[in-house]
Amino acid sequence: MPPSSLRVVYAFAREMHPKTTDVFIQYGTAGFRTKAILLEHVVYRMGLLAVIRSRVKNGRTIGMMITASHNLEPDNGVKLVDPDGEMLEEEWEAHATKLANVSDNDLEATTMEIIQEVKADMTLKASVFIGMDTRYTSPRLAAAAANGVIALKGTPKEFGIVTTPMLHFFVKCRNDNSYGTPTEEGYYEKIIGAYKNMRKSLPTKGDYSPCLYVDGANGVGGKKLKNVKKNFDEEELELHLFNLGGSGEKLNLGCGADHVKVTQTPAKGIPSTPYQRIASLDGDGDRLVYYYTDDKDKMHLLDGDRIATLLASYITELLQRCETTEVQLGIVQTAYANGASTKYITDTLKIPVQCVKTGVKHLHSAAHKYDIGVYFEANGHGTVLYSSKAKNVISRIAREGDPEPREAAKLLSQFIEMTNETVGDAISDLLLVETVLCARGISALQWMQLYTDLPCRQLKVTVADRNAIQTTDAERQCTSPEGLQQRINELVAKYPSGRAFARPSGTEDIVRVYAEAESQLEADTLAAEVCQAVFDLAGGVGARPELPATQE
C-alpha cells in the first residue's frame, strides 16, 4: 500500500542533503562512484531506495556500502547489496539512476512513482545494514544513508568501518542465519575458525613457509587483518602487515591490488626480500593479488587467474579423494584472463571454463550454474560458490563415507566454511590461498611455475563517446563502429599467440584495450596499434596514441 504523502522525504533532502550539482550520475558496474563532494544527495536517496527494496523483499535486510574501492582518496561511492549478500539486481539499477538524478522538488513524486512501479508495501518493516570504508568522507555519507532509511521509516543499522565483503556477509547472515552470525566477530569466527581447523590436518610441509607479507592498501582490509593476525600462532600463519593507513599514508596511493596489477610494479612501503610471498589487498578489501620479486628485483605477479586455478585444482583433487562424481566444478573468467591460464585450465586441469562480461555480477551469476563455481577476474576479485547439492553431497560423505573419502570431505567442508560466498573477499581468499599452498607444500615461485603467462598490456583511449564501441561474445568482439573488429583481426593476425580486444569501461569515460602476445614488446605494440584503430574509427579525442618507442 503506497503512503499518501512523502513530505518527510523532501524535508530531509532540502534541509540536510540537497542536490547541489546537475552532473548526471549513473549506477554502474559497482554502484555510484565519483568525487565524494558530489555524492551526499545520491547516498541519501539510495537510503530511500534501500528501504523500498527491503519492503519489496518482504522486509528482508538490504545492505549499503559506502566505498570507492581502489580509487584514490577524494572519490567515494555507494552500492546496494541484495538480501542474499549479492549485488543489486540489474533491473533496479535504472531506478537507482533515476532517483539519484531528479531535482529535490521532484524527489517526492519520483519516490512515489518507484514505490508504485515495484509494488512496494510501505506498511511492512524495512531493515538496512550500512557499512563504510576508511575514507574521511565516509562517515558523513553513511549518516546521509541512515537519514534516507529513516525518512521512509526503515531501520538502519550502522556497522562503522568494515570491508565490503564483510557487509555482504552480514546481510546474508541476517537473512539466513544458517550461514553465520551477522557481526564482525561472527565473520572472524567462521572464516578464521575454518582455517585453524584445516591447518590442524595440514601441517606446514615442503617449501611452504607460513610467513606472509601483506600490503593493506592503507585501507580497511589491512586494518581488519590486524584482528585476524591475533588469532594465529606463527606456525599457522605469520602475517607481516604493511600499508595500514598510518599518518601521512594515503589510501591506494602507490600500493594496493589495483596498483600492483595495473602498473605491474610492487607496492611501496614493503621491505624487499627476494622470493618473499606478498599479498596485496585493495582499498575496500574485496580484491587480492599476490606477487614476489626475484633476486634481480624483477616482480612476478600472481593474479586472479592464478588464484582461480590454484583453488579449483585443489577442490578438484579433494572431490576426487571424496570419490564422488556427483559434483561438477567449473571456472568463470572474463576476457582479461591471460590466455595461458585458460589453456592451462582446459588442457592440464581439464576443468570446464566459461568467459563472461566484466563485472562481478556477471561472473557471480555464471558461477551459480555449476555445482561448484570458481570465479575470478584477473584483477583479483573472485570467490567460490557451492550449490546446496554440492554441500549436501560433501557433508554426507564427511558423515558416512569410507575413512579416506571422509577425511577429504571434512577438509572440503572446512574449505567451504572459509569461503565468503557472497562476493570476492580478500581476507577469505587469502586464507584459502594459504591453505592450498600449505597443502601442496609449495612456495610462490613454485606456484608461478605451474604455467607461464603470455606477456600482456592494458591501455586506455579517450573517445568522444565510449558507447560508440559496442561489443559481443563476452566483450571479445566489437560490433560497432563498423570496420573496427576487422582492423583488430588484421592486427592480431601479425603476432603469434596474439589476442586483443577493446571495450568501453563501465566505470570511467574511456575505452579499454587489452592485448597479449609472445613477447612483451609484441604485446605492447599490438595494444598500441589497437588503440590507434579505436582512436581512428571510434572518434578519438586528444593526441593520437603512439606506438612503443622501439617501433618508431
Q: Is the dihedral of CA 360, 361, 362, 368 positive or negative?
A: positive
532 lies in the site for ligand 16G, by CB under 6 A: no
- Among 189, 326, 508, 536, contact with ligand 16G (rule: CB under 6 A): 508
286 lies in the site for Mg ion, by CB under 5 A: yes
Closest CB to Mg ion among 47 and 283? 283
Closest CA to 48 of 104, 132, 87: 104
- The verdict on whether residue 379 carries a ligand-binding annotation is yes
Contact present, 288 and 429 (Cβ < 8 Å): yes
Stretch that binds Mg ion, among 65-73, 227-235, 390-398, 455-463 (CB under 5 A): 65-73
Q: Secondary structure of 233-289 in the HEC alphabet?
A: CCCCCEEEEECCCCCCCCCCCCCCHHHHHHHCCCCCCCCCCCCCCEEEECCCCCCEE
512 lies in the site for ligand 16G, by CB under 6 A: yes
Contact present, 518 and 496 (Cβ < 8 Å): yes
30 lies in the site for ligand 16G, by CB under 6 A: yes
Stretch that binds Mg ion, among 63-71, 299-307, 322-330, 451-459 (CB under 5 A): 63-71
- Nearest approach in angstroms of CB 164 to ligand 16G is 8
Stretch that binds Mg ion, among 5-13, 64-72, 82-90, 296-304 (CB under 5 A): 64-72
- The verdict on whether residue 465 carries a ligand-binding annotation is no
Over the window 186 to 225, marking each residue x when it contacts ligand 16G by CB under 6 A and - when it does not, the resulting string is ----------------------------------------
29 contact, one of Mg ion, ligand 16G, none, CB 5-8 Å limit per kind: ligand 16G
381 lies in the site for ligand 16G, by CB under 6 A: yes
Q: Which CA distances in Å does 161 have to 131, 136, 223, 243?
A: 6, 11, 10, 17
- Among 284, 303, 305, 524, contact with Mg ion (rule: CB under 5 A): 284
| Cell, residue 504 | 568501453
Catalytic residue among 4, 5, 54, 69: 69
Cβ neighbours, 10 Å, residue 231: 14
- The verdict on whether residue 503 carries a ligand-binding annotation is yes
- The verdict on whether residue 515 carries a ligand-binding annotation is no
Closest CA to 237 of 470, 424, 87, 427: 427
379 contact, one of ligand 16G, Mg ion, none, CB 5-8 Å limit per kind: ligand 16G
Residue 359: what residue type? G
DSSP single-letter state for residue 36:
G
- Among 82, 93, 133, 377, contact with ligand 16G (rule: CB under 6 A): 377
Contacts of 517 (CB under 8 A, 6+ apart): 454, 455, 495, 496, 497, 498, 499, 523, 525, 526
Strand stretches in 303-455, DSSP E:
329-334, 353-356, 372-376, 382-386
| Subset of 321-360 contacting ligand 16G (CB under 6 A) | 358-360
- Please state whether 416 falls in left (phi above 0), alpha (psi between -120 and 50) or beta: alpha
- The verdict on whether residue 504 carries a ligand-binding annotation is yes
Give the integer Cα–Cα distance in Å for 504 and 217. Answer: 27
- Among 254, 441, 506, 539, contact with ligand 16G (rule: CB under 6 A): 506
Q: State residue 79 phi and psi, 5-degree precision.
A: -140, 155
Contact present, 80 and 72 (Cβ < 8 Å): no
| Cell, residue 509 | 569515460
Closest CB to Mg ion among 69 and 243? 69
Give the integer Cα–Cα distance in Å for 23 and 25. Answer: 6
Give the integer Cα–Cα distance in Å for 503 and 474. Answer: 10
379 lies in the site for ligand 16G, by CB under 6 A: yes
| Subset of 354-373 contacting ligand 16G (CB under 6 A) | 358-360
Closest CB to Mg ion among 282 and 453? 282
Tell me if the bond preceding 481 is cis, omega within 30° of 0. Answer: yes
Kindly state the number of chain residues that form the binding site for Mg ion, as judged by CB under 5 A. 4
- What's the count of helices (H) and strands (E) in the chain, helices before strands? 18, 19
282 lies in the site for Mg ion, by CB under 5 A: yes
60 contact, one of Mg ion, ligand 16G, none, CB 5-8 Å limit per kind: none
- Among 9, 29, 45, 401, contact with ligand 16G (rule: CB under 6 A): 29
434 contact, one of ligand 16G, Mg ion, none, CB 5-8 Å limit per kind: none
69 is catalytic: yes
Closest CB to ligand 16G among 53 and 381? 381
Residue 521, SS3?
helix
435 contact, one of Mg ion, ligand 16G, none, CB 5-8 Å limit per kind: none
475 contact, one of ligand 16G, Mg ion, none, CB 5-8 Å limit per kind: none
76 contact, one of Mg ion, ligand 16G, none, CB 5-8 Å limit per kind: none
Closest CB to ligand 16G among 19 and 512? 512
- The verdict on whether residue 365 carries a ligand-binding annotation is no
- Nearest approach in angstroms of CB 220 to Mg ion is 10
Strand partners, 279: 214, 290
* Residues in the chain, overall count: 552
Stretch that binds ligand 16G, among 56-64, 212-220, 375-383, 538-546 (CB under 6 A): 375-383
- The verdict on whether residue 506 carries a ligand-binding annotation is yes
Cβ neighbours, 10 Å, residue 481: 16
Give me the residues that bind ligand 16G (CB under 6 A), please. 29-30, 358-360, 377, 379, 381, 505-508, 512
**Binding-site residue ranges for Mg(2+):** 69, 282, 284, 286
Give me the residues that bind Mg ion (CB under 5 A), please. 69, 282, 284, 286
- The residues carrying an active-site annotation are 69
